[in-house]
Structure formats: C-alpha cells, structure tokens
Amino acid sequence: WWWPSLMMFGPSDNDSKHTAQSMQWKIKRKTNDELRQQFVDVTVPQAEFLGITVPDPDLKWNEERGHYDFGEINWDEFWEVVKGNGPCNEQRLHARIKAHEEGAWVREAAMAYAEKRRKRKERKVAAQVA
C-alpha cells in the first residue's frame, strides 16, 4: 500500500513533463515531489499513532530538513501500470466491458425515447404548418 500511495502523486519532478508548465500556469500550486513529501510528513505520524508499520526500511525523520526521508520509488513499476500492465488492469477492463454491455439497454431506451420525441416534434410542426 505504501509505494502505490507515493506513486499516485505522479513521477518525480525531474521526470514530469508537465509540472513546470502547470506551475507556471498556476494549475498546480505544488509539485509532485512537494505533494508527495507533504503526504509522507502527514501520514507517517498518523500511522505511528495507529500502530501501523510503514513498509519502508529507509523511512526516518530528518531533523535537518524537518521532513521524513523515504526510500526510492520503483518508477518502472509505476510506468508499467500507466501503460496498462498493472496488477488489476485486466480486472478493471473486464469490469468496464461488462458494465458497457449490461448498460446497453439503458442506451437503447434513451435513444428510442429521443427518437419518439423527435417524431412527436416533427408531427407537431407539420400540423402547425398545415
């Protein structure tokens, strides 16, 4: 759970194509690395309070920086997930296809209703013209 949580903030600032532009345009107020560090700094004390051991042997408080240091993130794993090769990708795609197939009746009903309204409007316009 720990590593995917750290990955969810996106690639390191050095590898993020859009961070600089997003910061310049003020779309983002903090970089991926700043957000990740903030998450770690807030989450670790909560985990410790709850008695949860964070699975990162390199995790430790850095008095000098005033932040937690944490281990190196496996970005190869992150990019595999982004490419669609993640551990749950097949399940996610199966669920998406199933939902689409099982929702066909709703789309068909909506289209039939729209067609019915269109024809009714055409008849009404034709009656007004005649």
Asked if the model's pLDDT at residue 42 lies above 90, the reply is yes
What CA–CA distance (Å, rounded) separates 11 from 113? 46
Last residue of a domain, one of 53, 69, 87: 87
What is the pLDDT, as a whole number, of residue 89?
87
Asked if the model's pLDDT at residue 87 lies above 90, the reply is no
- Range list of β-strands (E), the chain: 60-62, 67-69
Average pLDDT over residues 58-80: 96
Shared-domain flag, residues 105 and 83:
no
Q: Provide the residue count of the chain.
A: 130
What is the pLDDT, as a whole number, of residue 97?
95
pTM: 0.69
Phi (first) and psi of residue 60, to 5 degrees: -160, 155
Shared-domain flag, residues 76 and 52:
yes
Shared-domain flag, residues 38 and 3:
yes
Average pLDDT over residues 86-109: 93
Q: State the residue range of the domain holding 109.
A: 88-130
Phi (first) and psi of residue 90, to 5 degrees: -60, -45
What is the pLDDT, as a whole number, of residue 110?
98
